Amino acid sequence: MTSLSARFTSFAALVLISVPAFNAFGQQQVPPAPADQPSAPAPAGQPVFPKPDPANFTAASPTRETVDAFLHASWGFDDTRVWQVQAIWKTQVEGVSKVAILVGDRTGKQKPQQIGFFTLADGKHLIAGDDIVAFGEHPFADNRAQLVQRADGPYLGSALKDLEIVEFADFQCPHCKEAQPNMDKLAVDFPKARIVFQFYPLEKIHPASKTAASYGYCVAKQGGSTAFFQFAAAVFDGQDGLNQSTDSAILTLNSAVVKASLDPVKIAACAATPATSAAVEASVKLATDLDVNQTPMLMINGRQVSANAPYDTLKKVIEFQEKLDGVTP
């Protein structure tokens, strides 16, 4: 994926800090088989986690129930994943707690892992590795509220925002082009969703992306969402033209405008205005405020998921988020 800091987006890529092994877990590890006997393969099946030691729950917050609710919201779409909260320790910093969990899978194919993170005093964030991640029983609620208020790009589907899928994309990003078949399938499989396109040009690596976004904004302004998505499809189809000279990029954009049945001269004039530049920058600011640092990225009712994830995974995540938010399919 094209990114400023590449990462997978299901709970900070599972890039979680390790915590020291505690007694309840370490003492129950199986010793190695004697050297003169072959090791038998471990039987497949759901792992049996050691019983948590109450002595390892020294912090007043978060509660075990809150951590479980957070993990369910983050991982519940994956019905093969199982976990257990093993410890919530008080630290020397007031309000900061260290949480340890065990994670495995029901098939037994993956060895259980012990991973951990620090929860912060506000009760709304955690630190996992190099990432600050939304935390709590409803970790995506704040992002969702921002998107409902500020995601104002062209959209397909419902005018309602009960299920809002926001795509942050860059017209010059090759991975955004690769994601469009996924987006087309989502529009068919979730006709009651509101699927929004938000401009996120990464100018430092894609010099033509801001101009392309400006053209796209003006196409939507003058022709509406239908014209915009015709324009967007044409730009992605002709994306190679954006990667050559400035003249080639403009020819590519003008051709896409014509395919959207609009006037390239009027669109170019609109794209050159300070108001259009400000609108595109506002979309970029929304992305950065939501900690979206790569394209293409989806926000599904506030949950970040790569638009290039396997389609079956995307569908499963959306269906799970519907249930989590009480949305009628």
Terminal-to-terminal C-alpha distance of the chain: 30
- Residue 209 near residue 171 (C-beta atoms within 8 A): yes
Query: What is the predicted pLDDT for the residue at 20?
Result: 32
Q: What is the helix, strand, coil percentage profile of the chain, to 5?
A: 40, 20, 40
- Residue 62 near residue 97 (C-beta atoms within 8 A): yes
| CATH superfamily for domain 142-324 | Glutaredoxin (3.40.30.10)
Residue whose token pair is 């957070």: 70
Note down pLDDT in tens along the chain; length 329 residues.
443 333 333 344 443 322 333 333 332 223 333 344 444 444 467 888 999 999 999 999 999 999 999 999 999 999 999 999 999 999 999 999 999 999 998 887 778 899 999 999 999 999 999 889 999 999 999 999 999 999 999 999 999 999 999 999 999 999 999 999 999 999 999 999 999 999 999 999 999 999 999 999 999 999 999 999 999 999 999 999 999 999 999 999 999 999 999 999 999 999 999 999 999 999 999 999 999 999 999 999 999 999 999 999 999 999 999 999 999 87
Return the closest-CA partner of residue 143 out of 6, 308, 304: 304
Strand partners, 226: none
What is the DSSP-derived secondary structure letter of residue 20? -
Q: Give the domain ranges of the chain.
A: 2-31+40-137, 142-324
DSSP per-residue letters across 61-75: SS-HHHHHHHHHHHH
At 120, the amino acid letter reads L
What is the DSSP-derived secondary structure letter of residue 241? G
34-39 LR contacts (CB < 8 Å, sep 24+): none
State both tokens at 326: 């009480």
The C-alpha atoms of residue 271 and residue 282 are separated, in whole angstroms, by 15
Strand partners, 197: 167
Query: What is the predicted pLDDT for the residue at 46?
Result: 80
pTM of the complete model = 0.84
- Residue 57 near residue 87 (C-beta atoms within 8 A): yes
For the four alpha carbons of 148, 153, 158 and 159, in that order, the dihedral sign comes to positive
The C-alpha atoms of residue 296 and residue 175 are separated, in whole angstroms, by 7
